[in-house]
Chains A and B, each alone.
Chain A
């Protein structure tokens, strides 16, 4: 199917035609930088929100649990692109006038990055919440009772008894979510943030070499995947508990 297609992998080293002092590879690297910044910032928010909501869903207080359930229900049942458009196009309009104006005067790339980080962070937070919750729920009920019977307060029981083990149980699924943050970050291209997949699309317009451009971007995503898996495996090994399967 490529009989009329002239391959040229050297295209990445050509200077860009906009006159910027870089080549097309430089554009892809700039995109990769944005992808990494976006994914890492979003995963910090996702983890923080996910832990808080996951804990809330397992507390004995019905209202707090309902708050967590509602959060998950909303953020998991609206497509991420719709959420992103809501953060980027809708929220600034609904904010008080002076805040909205301030936001709209920020550089465009800052606006896009902020919206994308908040969107992905809170979207992924709902998924992390479910992992933390199931991590807590797989612990024997006696753990909580024993902690409380020893005189620990409920927050202390979470802090010293339940969460340390729940975190470790959740590491393998958290690894997949970490990969998902990077994959989902590509959605930010739809509001114009020049992350990796957006740069790949831009290269198609500028170089007319779509296959090379997509191939490199795809390879970079696979590479990110491998790196995340390797790092998380290291984390998993280093925090293993004695007495568990695969433990020290």
Chain B
């Protein structure tokens, strides 16, 4: 196979590959947003002086961090259709794979995000919380308005780096048969018999995107200007 053949193969499959990439990016975006929100809640719970909250958050993080992502995906692909049926009383008509993957990644990544955010909260000076309390703010308000904005701002590079890891991990939806970018590339390879070329092509695409994103994060870090959050 010559380079020209490969190029025409890829151009012919471009719509399928692009659709796959959109799926990969959709899962990434959803999981980053919900993962950070749920992760921040978990981090605050973990640091709360109310024992049951702290224990729940600790158990949640420990559990999800000790299971392979593939097992988590399989679990949710098993449970999400059941849940939808029970909650809404309808059998799932839409493709359940995408929803399962989004739920699984959001809940799984939250465990990792919560550890990053917890470190960020702990790095905020204790005086900030005391001052907020002295001004009459209740605990949750002080967390939301004073501590979390500082903690999140300080952890933006780490959160973004985790997002790049997450983007790469979305390729594991292969196990539930969801046509993300990698699965689409593999499907085309199986159809056209150009496995070698398509796998190398898929690898290069991930490599370029991840390297560019990493460079972007480093640029943010060096500039010393953090993205405004909240």
Contact with B203, one of A76, A78, A214 (Cβ below 8 angstroms): A78
Using A85-B186, A184-B68 as known contacts, say yes or no to A79 and B168 having CB atoms under 8 A apart.
Answer: yes
Residue A179 CB within 8 A of the other chain: yes
How distant is A225 from chain B, measured CB to nearest CB, in Å?
4
Q: Who on chain A is nearest to B66 by CB?
A: A225
Residue A83 CB within 8 A of the other chain: yes
The reply to whether B199 and A210 form a contact with Cβ atoms under 8 Å apart is: no
Find residues 72-122 in chain A having any chain B CB closer than 8 Å to their own CB.
73-74, 76-83, 85-86, 89-90, 93-94
Residue A145 CB within 8 A of the other chain: no
Find residues 160-187 in chain B having any chain A CB closer than 8 Å to their own CB.
164, 168-169, 171-172, 174-175, 182, 186
Contact indicator per residue, chain A 208-235, by CB within 8 Å of chain B (1) or not (0): 0011001001100110010000000000
The reply to whether A214 and B200 form a contact with Cβ atoms under 8 Å apart is: no
Within the assembled complex, what's the spacing in Å between the Cα atoms of A185 and B202? 21
Within the assembled complex, what's the spacing in Å between the Cα atoms of A105 and B128? 67
Contact indicator per residue, chain B 52-77, by CB within 8 Å of chain A (1) or not (0): 00000000000100111111001100
Residue A43 CB within 8 A of the other chain: no
The reply to whether A90 and B199 form a contact with Cβ atoms under 8 Å apart is: yes
Interface stretch (choices A56-64, A135-143, A148-156, A186-194): A186-194
How distant is B208 from chain A, measured CB to nearest CB, in Å?
9
Within the assembled complex, what's the spacing in Å between the Cα atoms of A189 and B171? 14
Contact with B168, one of A77, A85, A185 (Cβ below 8 angstroms): A77
Residue B96 CB within 8 A of the other chain: no
Using A77-B210, A90-B195 as known contacts, say yes or no to A1 and B86 having CB atoms under 8 A apart.
Answer: yes
Residue B82 CB within 8 A of the other chain: yes
The reply to whether B195 and A221 form a contact with Cβ atoms under 8 Å apart is: no
Residue B196 CB within 8 A of the other chain: yes
Within the assembled complex, what's the spacing in Å between the Cα atoms of A210 and B74? 10
Using A74-B207, A77-B206, A82-B206 as known contacts, say yes or no to A214 and B168 having CB atoms under 8 A apart.
Answer: no
Within the assembled complex, what's the spacing in Å between the Cα atoms of A93 and B200? 12
Residues of B within 8 A of A218 (CB): 67, 71, 75
A interface bracket (residues with beta carbon within 8 Å of B): 35 or more
Q: Who on chain A is nearest to B212 by CB?
A: A77
Within the assembled complex, what's the spacing in Å between the Cα atoms of A188 and B66? 17
A interface, by DSSP: helix, strand, loop or mixed?
helix
Contact with B172, one of A76, A81, A83, A222 (Cβ below 8 angstroms): A81
How distant is B72 from chain A, measured CB to nearest CB, in Å?
9
Residues of B within 8 A of A187 (CB): 68, 70, 172
Using A85-B186, A94-B196 as known contacts, say yes or no to A210 and B78 having CB atoms under 8 A apart.
Answer: yes
Residue B7 CB within 8 A of the other chain: no
Residue B131 CB within 8 A of the other chain: no
Within the assembled complex, what's the spacing in Å between the Cα atoms of A245 and B70? 38
The reply to whether A79 and B71 form a contact with Cβ atoms under 8 Å apart is: no
Residues of A within 8 A of B195 (CB): 89-90, 93
Residues of A within 8 A of B79 (CB): 1
Q: Who on chain A is nearest to B24 by CB?
A: A79
The reply to whether B182 and A82 form a contact with Cβ atoms under 8 Å apart is: yes
Q: Who on chain A is nearest to B77 by CB?
A: A210
How distant is B188 from chain A, measured CB to nearest CB, in Å?
13
Q: Which residues of B are in contact with A by a Cβ distance under 8 Å?
A: 63, 66-71, 74-75, 78-79, 82-83, 86, 164, 168-169, 171-172, 174-175, 182, 186, 195-196, 199-200, 202-203, 206-207, 210-211, 214
Beyond A78-B206, A81-B174, A190-B174, 13 additional contacts (C-beta under 8 Å) are A73-B211, A78-B168, A78-B207, A78-B210, A79-B206, A83-B203, A85-B199, A90-B195, A90-B196, A94-B196, A200-B71, A221-B71, A222-B66
Q: Could you pull out 14 A-B pairs where Cβ atoms are within 8 angstroms? A: A1-B82, A77-B168, A77-B211, A78-B210, A79-B168, A79-B169, A90-B196, A182-B68, A183-B68, A186-B71, A187-B68, A187-B70, A200-B74, A210-B78
Q: Which residues of A are in contact with B by a Cβ distance under 8 Å?
A: 1, 73-74, 76-83, 85-86, 89-90, 93-94, 179, 182-187, 189-190, 197, 200-201, 210-211, 214, 217-218, 221-222, 225
